[in-house]
Amino acid sequence: MKEYIKSRLEALVSELFGLNLPPAKIEKPRNESLGDLASNVSFLIAKELKKNPQDIAQTIAKTLCKDDAFEEVTPVKGFLNFKFSEGFLLREFENLLKLGEDFFKEDLGKEERLQIEFVSANPTGPLHLGHGRGAVVGDVLARVLSFFGYKITREYYVNDTGRQVYLLGVSILYRYLQLSGSDCSDLKGVFEKEGYKGEYILEIASLLREHVGDLLLSSEGVLKARDILLSACFPFPLNYTALFKPFKDPQIELCSVFGLDFLMGEIRKDLSSLGVSFDIWFSERKLYEKRDVDKLLKNLKDFLYEKEGALWLRTSAFGDDKDRVLRKSDGTYTYFASDIAYHRNKYLRGFKKVINLWGADHHGYIPRVRAALKMLKIPEDWLEIYLIQMVRLFKEGREIKMSKRAGNFVTLRELIEEVGPDAVRFVFLTKRSDTPLDFDVDKVKEKSSENPVFYVQYAHARISGIFREFKNKWKVDPEEENFLPFLKYLNAEDEIKLIKKVLLMKDELKEAALSREPHIITYLLIDLASSFHSFYNRYRIVSGNREITSARIALLKGIRTALRLGLKLIGVSAPEKM
């Protein structure tokens, strides 16, 4: 719809004034009674022409109102207000019925390869709510962009190396030794200070003990323990354990790899219960094994220097507050080093664009990554970064705090189990992802208008119910019947309004894709559901009049197409009955 107006304006502005169309806004006017869409073109070209915006608007309107797509084009205080004609709307709606969801499609991506990296939570504990939000936002972004013709790769960066993985091993071994009643004083200091204290560590430790008994009490038993684990049956794959080679601290090391396997299994399980999947699980370890980090340092050699035994990168010359360490004085690399290597790796894989969703606490990290990419001569707009703000959980009016240190989690899994994946997904999309979100568990469990998930799903179920009634009464299958000849009976103001709402969704969905704001879709759905519920209460759909009934069923079919598409894009089910 917007496209249509834009193309008309473009032609007219060059024809009437010999100008190119400036990036004019075409949007809904404040007040519906003014028109369906409005544009501010006249203001934008007024300066250049040294003319009054109202006069310009008038000139444009005079020509445009001859177009039969418009019932009227009115200039008001310089604005151009467009009101579509019924004929145009019905023609478009007919297209929608013929094409189904493809009506809303547009090839924006042209098969362009685009990568979205999201979640990427460290495999040292269960996923929490913030991760879940990132998972949903990333997944929906991927769905929407695929819908608009991009070739999307969904990727999870697995931080499977470094100190945190060592600490995971220490924590598990410590608990294992405790469970065995043996001496664990060597590890106590590290564990108390930096170890992971959540209950899941105990779970892993006792699972280990169950299978390998006392074998891990000494380093001699480690290889045997590994073989026992590999031949045992677990509900998760032993990718890391299979690669285990005993070298330094073999007991800790085995605990680390087994812990990684266990936790990655849990993470995959949680994500899949949310309906989120990945194409690639990218291992940080592999970057080191494939010497990507070493190669990176060669590429960055002009910007490196040594100080106090460490290797520094001169990021401050590219907009960062200060320089950053790549190789610590103990010879190991920082997370930042492998992360740049990872971004370089993505670039070399040929993605046209890369979207990163990070936890909001990473915002200070952005300048140094951007600085490094500049050094590598990677174009600035190649990388898009969006921050996912935290989620606070409320229950019975009180916030439920989570504390990592105390090992108190409100895990994603607990939430999914309590309210179901549909509600979790929907609520995570009710606000822009860069603002904090409060999740009220009680409201989401309510079956009322306070609960937007049910509100939208109910609209879909209601339409399904009406279709059942229609089939029952008129002995006609609404799925098979050709309703196009009946569209002409749709002429009540409320019916036309609904048609417009559905048709305009096309522009809004596109907007959601381009601005990377999937939460727009939930607002669209709520709005459409609300219009439908209102219509339902005012009009009888299945009546004794064949023409009007058929026309309204056709209208509902269009609404259903839009509801289903919206729900599909946000990954929420569209129930036939509730």
Partner RNA sequence: GGGCCCGUAGCUCAGCUGGACAGAGCAGGGGAUUUCUAAUCCCCAGGUCGGAGGUUCGAGUCCUCCCGGGCCCGCCA
Binding residues among 10-29 for RNA as defined by CB under 7 A: 23, 25, 27-29
Contact pick of 464, 522, 550, 561 for RNA (by CB under 7 A): 464
CA angle 49, 70, 533 (to 5 degrees): 120
Contact pick of 371, 466, 554, 562 for RNA (by CB under 7 A): 466
Q: HSE, CB side, 13 Å, CA atoms: give it for residue 382.
A: 18
Contact string 469-508 vs RNA (x = CB under 7 A): x---------------------------------------
545 is a site residue for RNA (CB under 7 A): no
Q: HSE, CB side, 13 Å, CA atoms: give it for residue 184.
A: 22
182 is a site residue for RNA (CB under 7 A): no
403 is a site residue for RNA (CB under 7 A): no
362 is a site residue for RNA (CB under 7 A): yes
131: left (phi over 0), alpha (psi -120 to 50) or beta: alpha
Of 35 and 250, which has the nearer Cβ to RNA?
35
What distance in Å separates the CA atoms of residue 229 and residue 233, rounded to the nearest whole number? 8
Enter the tokens of residue 215: 């074998």
What distance in Å separates the CA atoms of residue 310 and residue 299, rounded to the nearest whole number? 18
Q: Looking only at residues 260 through 289 of this chain, which bind RNA when binding is defined by CB under 7 A?
A: 284
How many residues are recorded in the chain? 578
336 is a site residue for RNA (CB under 7 A): yes
Contact pick of 96, 152, 341, 541 for RNA (by CB under 7 A): 541
Please report how close the Cβ of residue 94 comes to RNA at its closest, in angstroms: 23
Considering only the stretches 3-11, 206-214, 487-495, 532-540, report the one whose residues sit in contact with RNA under the rule CB under 7 A: 532-540
Contact pick of 183, 192, 279, 438 for RNA (by CB under 7 A): 438
Contact pick of 21, 461, 476, 492 for RNA (by CB under 7 A): 461
Question: What burial letters (b/e) apply to 27-60, b meaning 16+ CB within 10 Å?
Answer: eebeeeebbbbbbbbbbbbbeeeeeebbebbebb
Q: Looking only at residues 286 through 325 of this chain, which bind RNA when binding is defined by CB under 7 A?
A: 307-310, 321, 325
Q: Looking only at residues 511 through 530 of this chain, which bind RNA when binding is defined by CB under 7 A?
A: 511, 515, 523, 530
Please report how close the Cβ of residue 366 comes to RNA at its closest, in angstroms: 9
Please report how close the Cβ of residue 369 comes to RNA at its closest, in angstroms: 10
Contact pick of 12, 16, 49, 76 for RNA (by CB under 7 A): 76
The SS3 call for residue 69 is coil
Strands (E), 35-120: 37-39, 70-76, 79-84, 113-117
Of 207 and 461, which has the nearer Cβ to RNA?
461
Q: Looking only at residues 132 through 171 of this chain, which bind RNA when binding is defined by CB under 7 A?
A: 159, 161-164
The SS3 call for residue 530 is helix
Strands (E), 220-352: 280-283, 304-307, 310-313, 324-327
Of 273 and 334, which has the nearer Cβ to RNA?
334
- Of 395, 400, 473, 472, nearest to 441 (Cα)? 395
335 is a site residue for RNA (CB under 7 A): yes
Of 46 and 415, which has the nearer Cβ to RNA?
46
398 is a site residue for RNA (CB under 7 A): no
CB 102 within 8 A of CB 62: no
Contact pick of 542, 562, 567, 574 for RNA (by CB under 7 A): 542
Please state the φ and ψ torsions of residue 569, each to the nearest 5 degrees.
Answer: -65, -35
Q: Looking only at residues 77 through 106 of this chain, which bind RNA when binding is defined by CB under 7 A?
A: 77-79, 81
CB 19 within 8 A of CB 10: no
What distance in Å separates the CA atoms of residue 39 and residue 48, rounded to the nearest whole number? 17
User: Which distant-in-sequence residues (6+ apart) come within 8 Å of 435 by Cβ?
Assistant: 389
Pairing of strands 310-313, 324-327: antiparallel
User: With contacts defined by CB under 7 A, how many residues of the chain interact with RNA?
Assistant: 82
381 is a site residue for RNA (CB under 7 A): no
43 is a site residue for RNA (CB under 7 A): yes
CB 253 within 8 A of CB 246: yes
Q: How far is CA 533 from CA 411, 426, 501, 565, in A?
A: 35, 19, 13, 18
Of 107 and 330, which has the nearer Cβ to RNA?
330
Of 235 and 364, which has the nearer Cβ to RNA?
364
371 is a site residue for RNA (CB under 7 A): no
- Of 439, 339, 369, nearest to 399 (Cα)? 439
449 is a site residue for RNA (CB under 7 A): yes
Of 56 and 255, which has the nearer Cβ to RNA?
56
401 is a site residue for RNA (CB under 7 A): no
- Of 232, 241, 118, nearest to 169 (Cα)? 241
Of 4 and 539, which has the nearer Cβ to RNA?
539
CA angle 123, 170, 253 (to 5 degrees): 75
Contact pick of 9, 35, 226, 565 for RNA (by CB under 7 A): 35
Please report how close the Cβ of residue 438 comes to RNA at its closest, in angstroms: 5
Of 218 and 449, which has the nearer Cβ to RNA?
449
What distance in Å separates the CA atoms of residue 527 and residue 99, rounded to the nearest whole number? 23
Of 19 and 217, which has the nearer Cβ to RNA?
19
